[in-house]
Amino acid sequence: MKKVLVTTSLLLFIAVNYFTVNVFAETGIDVIRASATAMNFAKLKEFNTMQIRATVYAQNQRVGIRVMSKGDDLLRFEQTIMGRDEIYVLTEDAFFQLKPVFKELDKEDALSIMILISRMMPTMMFGDVDSLNEEKVSIELIGIEKFNGKDAQKVRMTPKESPETVQYLYFDAITNWLLGVDLTSQVSLVYEKMKRLKGYVYPAVIKLMVDGKKQQEIEINKLEADIDLPDSLFERP
């Protein structure tokens, strides 16, 4: 799944990577590297399979989510909306729906699923921290600010080809964990209730805020790694 997720935009790829801060960091990239260590992103890359069970709350609706991944390029996404089951499978070279009926889909249609997953597990979007290309993206440490009631190191990330899409990352000044991301001047992601899985740190609650008001909340009910997921889960009927 890690290879599949990298297909989204470079900035989202960078922003949603759970790398946190070191209060002694001198540069933005130092902060990111310190966070990668604190949240043990290296452990995430060791997992061969993963399964996420989550609930999404938005617009007075409750949606049950189940995500399964295997290796670098197999992803199964299930959701239940108002009693209706939907199942999608994304591979390196295909995207198709299994329920409610089978049909082949354009891989570009998988973007909304990838964005939702990136909100649930932001670090899945990251490659190696050393691959961050500062020739393409400006990474600047701004200083310490309050974020969600905590002291946080603030890092500005600006794509040099599209500086209007600047984003800000906030890292806990004590734990070096990622607290949230300002995607735009109006839209933010807030990460809360951190948990551990075999040393890997992830948020159990993710909030999407628009103009300071919560528009969506994702609750990670269970996260599992290195479990048995048969290939048949990712195959056409």
The 3 state secondary structure assigned to 87-106 is EEEECCCCEEEEECCCEEEC
Q: Is the pLDDT of residue 75 over 60?
A: yes
Higher pLDDT, 2 or 165: 165
237 is a domain residue = no
59 is a domain residue = yes
206 is a domain residue = yes
Q: Is the pLDDT of residue 220 over 70?
A: yes
Indicate the helix (H) or strand (E) that contains 179.
strand 178-182
The predicted model gives 19-30 an average pLDDT of 62
Residue closest to 88 by CA, chosen among 4, 9, 10: 4
Q: Is the pLDDT of residue 14 over 50?
A: no
Q: Which residues pair with 182 in a beta bridge?
A: 168, 188
Domain that holds residue 28: 2-226
Residue 120 to residue 207: CA distance in whole angstroms:
10
Among 39-53, 114-128, 209-223, which is the least confidently predicted range? 114-128
The predicted model gives 151-157 an average pLDDT of 94
Q: How many domains does the chain have?
A: 1
Per-residue confidence at 5, pLDDT binned at 50, 70, 90? very low
235 is a domain residue = no
Rounded to two decimals, the pTM is 0.82
234 is a domain residue = no
The predicted model gives 128-144 an average pLDDT of 77
The predicted model gives 52-81 an average pLDDT of 94
Per-residue confidence at 136, pLDDT binned at 50, 70, 90? confident
Which pLDDT belongs to residue 22?
A: 44
Which pLDDT belongs to residue 1?
A: 57
Q: Is the pLDDT of residue 50 over 50?
A: yes
236 is a domain residue = no
- Dihedral angle computed from the Cα positions of residues 182, 185, 186 and 191, in that order, rounded to the nearest 10 degrees: 10
Residue 65 to residue 116: CA distance in whole angstroms:
10
SS3 (DSSP) at 234: helix
Query: Domain of 64: which CATH number?
Result: 2.50.20
CB neighbours of 83 closer than 8 A, spacing ≥ 6? none
Residue closest to 110 by CA, chosen among 126, 96, 125: 96
Residue 179 to residue 155: CA distance in whole angstroms:
12
Per-residue confidence at 11, pLDDT binned at 50, 70, 90? very low
The predicted model gives 68-74 an average pLDDT of 94
SS3 (DSSP) at 109: helix
232 is a domain residue = no
